[in-house]
């Protein structure tokens, strides 16, 4: 998986960087409204570790419960 910046104008998407080693791919596109100030796009400051524990996910990932899960199959992602 790669992240690349692009511009959209008049129905066309222009990549600002080449995709390395990719000849065909499915894309998931996040559109940032150009009229919205860049400052509003940044993620809020968080306490990720504390939030993670608060959600109770820490106890799931601290176990062997997911050791035998094929995550590529689960999310329908082909291995590289």
Predicted local confidence at residue 14, as pLDDT: 92
Average pLDDT of the residues of the chain? 77
Predicted local confidence at residue 41, as pLDDT: 54
List the domain boundaries for the chain: 1-34
Prediction pTM value: 0.38
- From the list 7, 66, 68, the residue with the least C-alpha distance to 34 is 7
- Whole-angstrom distance, CA of residue 76 vs CA of residue 80: 13
- Whole-angstrom distance, CA of residue 69 vs CA of residue 58: 17
On the 0-12 / 13-18 / 19+ scale of CB atoms within 10 A, 29 is exposed
Structure tokens at 43: 């993620």
pLDDT digits 0-9 by tens, 8-43: 899 999 999 888 888 888 888 888 877 766 655 566
């Amino acid at each position: 998986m790669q992240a690349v910046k692009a511009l959209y104008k008049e129905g066309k998407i222009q990549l600002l960087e080449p995709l390395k080693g990719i000849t065909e791919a499915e894309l998931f596109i996040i559109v940032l409204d150009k009229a919205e100030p860049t400052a509003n796009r940044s993620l809020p400051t968080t306490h990720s570790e504390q939030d993670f524990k608060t959600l109770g996910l820490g106890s799931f990932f601290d176990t062997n419960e997911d050791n035998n899960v094929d995550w590529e199959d689960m999310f329908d992602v082909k291995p590289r």
